[in-house]
């Protein structure tokens, strides 16, 4: 018997990167998985089938756009009706836009806040009732070191991730006397597609190759000089969903190569 057999996990933003690593890790421990994210439909279907076969679990894909609350509600209602209530919710989906505050397009501010913060509120509020009825639930919010410290030109992202850390603490307090926990993981630089775009932009701006730009990015913030691996974050998420983490509540756990230790 694998520890999460019979549990259902929704991982948002799980068609690539950190979210996919978390989905794989939870499936390996026996959890049925609902994938969510964007991508080529044929590639996503192949991914869904591969994950189901390799882990011998049920895997469903729901392509809700998390910038739209109505689509989040439809997704959560569909999952509840067809698969039963969600036991594990991992809010991982995120987008980024980089610009000085006085040049930041308002529509990009709204989009970043919608996906990185408001979507987490909506999934949590809709997942909690069935978690509380069953007296079991694990909510893991993938925040960021930018939920704890700031960087220039990332006003929307930093604001959203600080908000997500605060939301995590409120949910943890409101569920403290129950079998539901809520915690946040705060990664540093992880070489995901989102960060890769920042590396490429830096390479163009500074007239260097991609690896030089990547090393410069690490040197500014991350003392270990190494990227965090998606599998590191996945392992921590699995731990937070385990019985051993039952009294970890409202925590913000950094995995950042020493970034916030400075």
Q: Which residues are catalytic?
A: 157
Chain position carrying tokens 């698969």: 83
User: Bridge-partner residues for 9, per DSSP?
Assistant: 33, 88
* Number of residues that this document lists for the chain: 262
Q: Using CA atoms, how far apart are residues 181 and 193, in angstroms rounded to an integer?
A: 29
Q: Distance from CA of residue 186 to its chain's centroid?
A: 10
120-155 per-residue burial string, b: 16 or more CB within 10 A, e: under 16: bbbbbebbbebbbeeebbbbbbbbbbbbbbeeeebb
Q: Using CA atoms, how far apart are residues 175 and 182, in angstroms rounded to an integer?
A: 8
**Comparing C-alpha atoms, which of 177, 92, 80, 169 is closest to residue 129?**
80
CA dist 151 → 62, 100, 217, 241 (Å) = 33, 11, 12, 30
């Amino acid at each position: 018997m694998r520890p999460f057999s019979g549990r259902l996990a929704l991982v948002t933003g799980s068609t690539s990167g950190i979210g996919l690593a978390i989905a794989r890790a939870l499936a390996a421990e026996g959890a049925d998985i609902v994938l969510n994210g964007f991508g080529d439909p044929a590639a996503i279907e192949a991914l869904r089938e591969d994950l189901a076969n390799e882990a011998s679990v049920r895997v469903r894909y729901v392509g809700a756009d998390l910038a739209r609350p109505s689509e989040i509600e439809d997704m959560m209602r569909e999952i509840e009706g067809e698969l039963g209530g969600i036991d594990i919710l991992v809010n991982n989906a995120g987008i980024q836009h980089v610009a000085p505050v006085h040049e930041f397009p308002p529509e990009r501010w709204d989009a970043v806040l919608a996906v990185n913060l408001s979507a987490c509120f909506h999934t949590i509020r809709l997942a909690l009732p069935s978690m509380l009825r069953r007296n079991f639930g694990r909510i893991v919010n993938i925040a960021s070191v930018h939920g704890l410290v700031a960087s220039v030109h990332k006003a929307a992202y930093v604001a959203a991730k600080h908000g997500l850390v605060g939301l995590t603490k409120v949910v943890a307090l409101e569920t403290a006397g129950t079998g539901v926990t809520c915690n946040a993981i705060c990664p540093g630089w992880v070489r995901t597609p989102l960060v890769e775009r920042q590396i490429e932009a830096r390479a163009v701006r500074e007239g260097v190759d991609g690896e030089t730009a990547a090393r410069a990015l690490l040197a500014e913030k991350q003392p270990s000089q190494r990227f965090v691996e998606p599998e590191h974050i996945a392992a921590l998420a699995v731990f937070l969903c385990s019985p051993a983490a039952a009294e970890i509540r409202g925590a913000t756990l950094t995995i950042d190569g020493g970034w916030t230790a400075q």
